[in-house]
Chain A
Amino acid sequence: MPLWGNKKLHQRVVALTPRLHIIARSWGCSPDLCDDLVQETLATALNKISQLRKEAALEVWVIRILTNSHRLYLRQHKYLSPLDSHELIDELDPQHSLDAQQTIDMVRAAIGLLSDEQRKVLTLVDMESFSYQKVAEILDIKIGTVMSRLSRARAQLRKIINDISARTNRTETQPDLWRVK
């Protein structure tokens, strides 16, 4: 039976929507851009589903389409990091938000400072729990490249996070300055 006639396969593609959205968000895309990219990806996947050779490879195949759509977008638009460089702090439930949400915001901001290549490998491995083999297939690169990019990404991320933490600690310990007239 041809794959394109498989209704269940269509449903499986559509069911990937939230995950595609999360992946696109982790690459630093704004919610609007995520919607566009995911829409584009789903439309392409459903139109070209006859090109899918193995049903088991559906997930990797669809995420690969998302990667290509994102790459195309970056090529067409001058890339500006949509991640907000100005941190906004939620003051409600201070005990929790100060520790947890600020750390998450900081990590997201730090991920946003990585190169697009490093960010994609890092998020696919650490956030989406893909194996190196699958990441290599999604990004169409060799496993060795996945390993080196991941290694550089984590080293770079550690450096950025340390810098941010050091800066924050310095600001907190600085005394208030008063202008004396």
Chain B
Amino acid sequence: MKTSFDADNVSDELLNAFVDNELDRKEHLQLLQTQLKYPAIHLRICELRQIKELVSSARHQEPSNHDSSQQPRARTRKNRSMAASLMILVTIGTIVFIAQAAWLKPDNTARYRYAYPQIKVVLNKLDARNKTNIVFHINKNNVHSLEALFTDIQRLLIDPRTENKNIRIEVLTSGPGLPLLDTLSEKHLKLIQQLYTQHENISFIVCKQTLTKFRKETKRLQQLPKGMVLTASAPELIKLRRAQGWNYIHI
């Protein structure tokens, strides 16, 4: 009986099956013998194991917002008609409520005027099914612009048109805007962290090139505020986002 394979007869499929523990006992033992005999085979097996480990480690985590006990929508005809009736009732109720609210008390959300009117343009283009992405680019060292932006973003995230999270926001800081990060107050830092933890559709990004230069010159900002990530190059990111159809708003 053959106790091992010839080195030339060992196919990649066989090695993969060995790594995945898919061979029967006889083949498994034969391949164990083969790898002892031929270091090159042993090396190939090690590489395959490494790849398997890497892929396994890249598995996504369970989504935190999933409640497995929640029943999904069953799309039966009966349920659809019930849902439709319910929706009509809810719609009528909502209209009545909004009308009353508008009559008794002004609706701040509807009346809010964005400091950056481009946001309004983007929102007007947005319908219920559509999705949109905005990159806000801060490259001026002006704290008032930053404050206006934060207020706009907070409003944008509670705007009825973006309630179903059909919007993704990136706040990119680079160039002359970077020193702003060094002067952020406690209030700003808390706000950034709050936005970052409460809304998964917003990212705060910093240009690595500018940051490196800033650190070299000033020895400051050795640690970025929590919730901020780096991009290798802001212009490259902007170019990419524009190519991907993102709305670009310069602050």
Residues of chain A touching chain B, judged by Cβ–Cβ distance below 8 Å, are 14-15, 17-18, 21-22, 25-26, 31-32, 34, 39, 42-43, 46-47, 85-92, 103-104, 107-108, 111, 122-123, 125-127, 131-132, 147-148, 150-151, 154-155, 157-158, 161
Q: Which residues of B contact A17 (CB under 8 A)?
A: 66, 68, 72
Cross-chain contact A18 with B68 (CB below 8 angstroms): yes
Measured in the bound complex, the distance between the Cα atoms of B58 and A138 in whole Å is 21
Contact between chains at B13 and A25 (CB < 8 Å): no
In the complex, A17→B64 CA distance in Å? 12
The contact sample of 25 A-B pairs, CB cut-off 8 A, is: A14-B69, A14-B71, A17-B72, A21-B66, A22-B60, A22-B61, A26-B60, A42-B72, A46-B72, A47-B76, A86-B231, A88-B229, A88-B230, A88-B231, A89-B231, A91-B229, A91-B230, A92-B224, A103-B54, A103-B57, A127-B59, A150-B13, A151-B12, A151-B13, A161-B54
In the bound assembly, the distance between CA atoms of A170 and B57 in angstroms comes to: 25
Q: Are the CB atoms of B58 and A132 closer together than 8 Å?
A: no
B56 beta carbon closer than 8 Å to chain A: yes
Minimal beta-carbon separation of A132 from chain B (angstroms): 5
- Pick the residue among A14, A32, A157 that contacts B55 (CB under 8 A): A157
Q: Is the CB of B66 within 8 A of A147?
A: no
Find the B residue at minimum CB distance from A11. Answer: B69
Q: Chain B: residues with CB nearer than 8 A to chain A?
A: 11-13, 15-17, 20, 22, 47-48, 51-52, 54-63, 66, 68-76, 131, 165, 200, 203, 205, 208, 223-224, 226, 228-232, 236-237, 240
A22: which B residues are within 8 A, CB to CB? 59-63
Contact (Cβ within 8 A) A14 B72 = yes
| Distance from A100 Cβ to chain B, minimum over Cβ atoms (Å) | 8
Nearest CB to that of A157 among chain B residues? B51
CB-CB < 8 A to B68: which residues of A?
A: 14-15, 17-18
Most buried by B among A17, A22, A26: A17
Q: Are A125 and B20 in contact (CB under 8 A)?
A: yes
Check B230–A154 contact: CB distance below 8 A: no
> B208 touching A89 by the CB < 8 A rule?
yes
**Does the CB pair B66–A155 fall under 8 Å?**
no
Contact assessment for B48 and A108 in the assembled complex, using a CB-CB cutoff below 8 Å: no
Distance of A45 from chain B, by nearest CB (Å)? 9
Contacts of B17 in A (CB 8 A): 132, 147
Point out the residues of chain A lying under 8 angstroms from B71, CB to CB. 14
The answer to whether B131 and A155 have CB atoms under 8 Å apart is no
Apart from A43-B75, A88-B230: 10 A-B pairs, beta carbons within 8 A: A17-B66, A17-B72, A18-B66, A22-B59, A88-B229, A91-B228, A92-B223, A151-B15, A151-B16, A157-B54
Chain A residue nearest to B13 (CB atoms) is: A147
Give the CA-CA distance A158 to B203 in the complex, in Å: 31
Q: Are B236 and A86 in contact (CB under 8 A)?
A: yes
The residue among B20, B200, B228 with the most chain A CB atoms within 10 A of its own CB is: B20
Contacts A85-B240, A127-B59, A154-B16: A92 and B226 contacting too (C-beta < 8 A)? yes
- Asked, given contacts A86-B237, A123-B55, A155-B12, whether A43 binds B232 with beta carbons under 8 Å apart, the answer is no
Q: A9 vs B75: C-alpha distance in the bound complex, in angstroms?
A: 18
Question: Which residue of B15, B56, B58, B237 has the most chain A CB atoms within 10 A of its CB atom?
Answer: B58
A97: min CB distance to chain B, Å:
10
Chain B residues contacting A111 (CB-CB under 8 Å) are: 55, 58
Which chain A residues border B240 with CB–CB below 8 Å? Answer: 85-86
Q: How far is the CA of A47 from the CA of B78 in the complex (A)?
A: 12
Contact A107 B230 (CB under 8 A): no
Cα A107 to Cα B56 with chains together (Å): 10
Inter-chain contact A88/B58, CB cutoff 8 Å: no
Q: B75–A107 contact, CB under 8 A?
A: no
Contacts of A43 in B (CB 8 A): 72-75
